[in-house]
Amino acid sequence: MRIVLIGPPGAGKGTQARVLAGLLAVPAISSGDLFRAETSRGSALGELVRRHTDAGELVPDELTATLVTRRLREPDAADGFLLDGYPRTVGQSELLERALDEDGTVLDAVIALDLPDDEIVRRLTGRRVCPACGTTVHTVFSPPRVPDRCDGCAGPLVRRADDTEETVLRRLAVYAEQTVPLLRWYTDRELLRPVDATGTVPEVCDRMRSALSLGAR
Ligand code: AP5
């Protein structure tokens, strides 16, 4: 299956993408992760990306589309993928449609997670990530066994630079301005599947499975 996962910052896209991609045996491809890999390389491109991400602003469409399309054309995504956080503008969705068309494929569904802003701020200000292995936890909802240490590799957990309350509020405003119009775009194409992202991780996952008609676990 070829699926796009849309949702405001902190709605649980990355958390759910890892679970669902495992169930579907397809790669989860996150534009945010591609950008973080680029910035950690310290390249000139990475520095350009960092200026946008640290401010909570979107990276320009053409640059984003080039990075994601290159990843989509790697062999492990030939039979399907779960795209986390791309596209997030109407311009990007047009670029994605064109790239898939060139490859002779189409999307099967677009899941749109929805979560109230106050819950988003709670989830993001408590998020901690492991830069070494990518594990994501929450200081209250899913705390690590040892404070500030990753359960997976024991490396130090850090707070993302864009997870301060001020930047989260800016990211929410950017989502409302630039990504919400996409919901109408995909509704018009009969691809949109809205999913309530409140509740536990398994509860949200079950709703996503129903939205994709995948049946019960
Ligand atoms: P990106 O990394 O994609 O950030 P985002 O979209 O803001 O989403 P997040 O990663 O912050 O949250 P999430 O929805 O994945 O939530 P998570 O599962 O971690 O992008 C970063 C930046 O890169 C953007 O701001 C932009 O600058 C740039 N960028 C990326 N894509 C771009 C694009 N297409 N175009 C242009 N620019 C782009 O969960 C959050 C927390 O909640 C975690 O602590 C988790 O443990 C917890 N949690 C999750 N689910 C639950 C639950 N059900 N109950 C309780 N806690 C939960």
- Asked whether residue 96 is assigned to any structural domain, the reply reads yes
> Which CATH number does the domain housing residue 87 bear?
3.40.50.300
Ligand 1 environment, Cβ below 6 A:
7, 9-15, 30-32, 35, 52-53, 56-59, 64, 85-88, 92, 123-124, 127, 136-138, 141-142, 162, 171, 200-201, 204
Is 171 considered catalytic here? yes
Q: CA 10 → CA 14, 56, 92, 172, distances in Å?
A: 9, 13, 21, 10
- Asked whether residue 13 is assigned to any structural domain, the reply reads yes
- Asked whether residue 153 is assigned to any structural domain, the reply reads no
Rounded to two decimals, the pTM is: 0.94
- Asked whether residue 32 is assigned to any structural domain, the reply reads yes
Structural domain boundaries, residue 58: 2-115+179-211
Measured in Å, how far apart are the chain's first and last C-alpha atoms? 18
Return the structure tokens found at 121. Answer: 């701020």
| Angle subtended by helix axes 90-102 and 180-188, to nearest 10 | 40
- Asked whether residue 152 is assigned to any structural domain, the reply reads no
Ligand 1 nearest atom to the CA of residue 84, by list position: 3
Is 13 considered catalytic here? yes
d(CA 133, CA 73): 24
Is 207 considered catalytic here? no
Say how many Å lie between the CA of residue 9 and the centre of ligand 1: 5
What was the pLDDT predicted at 21? Answer: 95
- Asked whether residue 185 is assigned to any structural domain, the reply reads yes
Using one digit for the tens of pLDDT, what is the confidence trace for 189-206?
999 999 999 999 999 999
For residue 216, pLDDT beyond 80:
no
- Asked whether residue 78 is assigned to any structural domain, the reply reads yes
* Number of compact structural domains in the chain: 1
